[in-house]
Amino acid sequence: MIEFREVSFGYKRGKPLYEGLNLTLSPGSIYGLLGPNGAGKSTLFRLLAGLLYPKSGSIRVGEYMPENRQPAFLEDLFLVPEEFYLPAVRIKQFVDSNAPFYPRFDRAQMAAYIREFGLTDNQKLSELSYGQKKKVLIGFGLATNTAVLLMDEPTNGLDIPSKSQFRRLVAGAVNENRTVVISTHQVRDLEALIDPIVILAERSRSHMTVALKATVEEITARLWFGLVSELDKNRAILYSERAVGGYAIVAENPMGEPSRLDLERLFNTVQAEPARIQQLFASTSTLASI
């Protein structure tokens, strides 16, 4: 269980990025963390990993507080960062040097990932493309079998076939004891993978809040996604955009009409109407106060 309780953090004095942030994440799920540029998604990951410390409030990951950086905590969390440096060694050497820090690291699992990605143990990391290096790091993170796996923009640098591989491998690496959180701008890449969904949006005084935390089932029960020929003033439309044949809309769904989630339009809706979204979903989870 991951818990943020009344967490405040900012890089500049008097300019909080988060203030009174509350968020709970349970094991057994692949959470999608979405937010606009500068929303602090990477900052949340660094706070979770104990690389940054909250100004106030508390963060707990299981029985540990990340800021204490206890060895038992560090060996059970892995972060795949968006920006990274890998040493000029062969893949086998990288694995041999880093695997001992993770007690549940599975070498056979890692070898399978390397083969899946079309790589070999003897290839030098310095000679790989950015996308190939990303694959090595993703495979290593999955093979650690840590209780918490954080991935910051993992599909950046991957081609279309590799994104499909990524979705399949991540889905197969999750169990009831593992919490996976994926931060992404590439919502189309991960639409069929992430559930529940957490979306950050701007709150008053220009800092961020959790405007939505809900499962796909909860979202489609409260919101309707579809295409209409004309905008209906009698319908509670939260977001609309021109589309071929009319308008793509996201509307309130009091009658529970079935529809298919459109993650990109959901994101735009939350950014446009964060307060209303919080009201609609208040009964599904405890969110940051408005």
Structure tokens at 13: 């004095």
Do 290 and 264 touch, CB atoms closer than 8 A?
A: no
Read off the pLDDT of residues 212-262 as tens digits, 9 standing for 90 and up. Answer: 999 999 999 999 999 999 998 889 999 999 999 899 999 999 999 999 999
Residue type, 72: A
Would the pLDDT of 166 be above 60? yes
What are the phi and psi torsion angles at 271 (to 5°)?
-65, -35
| pTM, rounded to two decimals | 0.91
* pLDDT per residue as tens digits for the range 60-69: 999 999 999 9
Statement: residue 288 has pLDDT above 60? no
Per the prediction, the chain carries an average pLDDT of 91
Q: Which domains does the chain have, with CATH numbers?
A: 2-194 (3.40.50.300), 215-281 (no CATH)
Residue 290 pLDDT: 31
Scanning the structure block, which residue is given the tokens 């290839």? 123
